[in-house]
Amino acid sequence: MDTHNTHTECLLCGVVQVLSAWQDSHSTYKAYMEAQLEQKSAECQHLHERANQYQVSLTRARQRQGDLEAHVSQLNAQEQSLLKTIFEEQTKAGELENRYATLYSVNETLLQLLADDQSESDGQTFDTQGLLLANQEQQSEIDELRFKVASQTRIMKEVSLILQQVTNPAVQNETMVENQTPVHADECSCGSC
């Protein structure tokens, strides 16, 4: 009877030991899983923050793209306006050049009439003075037209330069550097000219 009791106690002791070992193993596994869950949660939070940063960057990039497209549209409008101005100035210059050529031809004719009149007779003073006065008026108008043609040419050059600066930023930088260069070497203060 004592032997039977001892045997029963040994079985119970073994079951207790097995249950205790299983409980320890379960606790260890639970702690491991909780650590893994916490790590995955931290990684998920980090990925969520990065996704938010990418979203902000994407929004800014789209806004920047919209600004650039608006700027390009504005530059295209300026280019069209400058091309129109150049065309109008070229038309005006062409008209002035044609008028200048006409007046120059008339002036040459007047000078030839003056020369013929003086060679034929010195008594036709009235006609000679009239031709001289007409020649002076024509010459004044020719000089005025010459000035206008020069002004139109200068305006066209300035407009063309502005157009180049609008369509090509490098030209603008070169122009700025060129404008900073002294006209004469004696105006330079660098000491190497």
Mean pLDDT of the chain: 74
Between these two residues, 13 and 2, which has the higher pLDDT value? 13
pLDDT above 80 (res 120): no
Give the whole-angstrom CA distance, residue 20 versus residue 2.
27
Give the whole-angstrom CA distance, residue 69 versus residue 82.
20
Contacts of 139 (CB under 8 A, 6+ apart): 107
The burial of 96, by beta-carbon neighbours within 10 Å (0-12 exposed, 13-18 middle, 19 or more buried), is given as buried
pLDDT band at 170 (very low <50, low <70, confident <90, very high): low
pTM as predicted: 0.42
Q: What is the pLDDT of residues 56-101, one digit of tens each?
A: 999 999 999 999 899 888 888 888 888 888 888 788 878 888 887 8
pLDDT at residue 119, as a whole number = 64
Locate the domains of the chain by residue range. 29-169
Q: b/e string for 44-71 if b means 16 or more Cβ within 10 A? A: eeeeeeeeeeeeeeeeeeeeeeeeeeee
Q: What is the pLDDT of residues 151-165, one digit of tens each?
A: 777 877 787 777 777
pLDDT at residue 117, as a whole number = 66
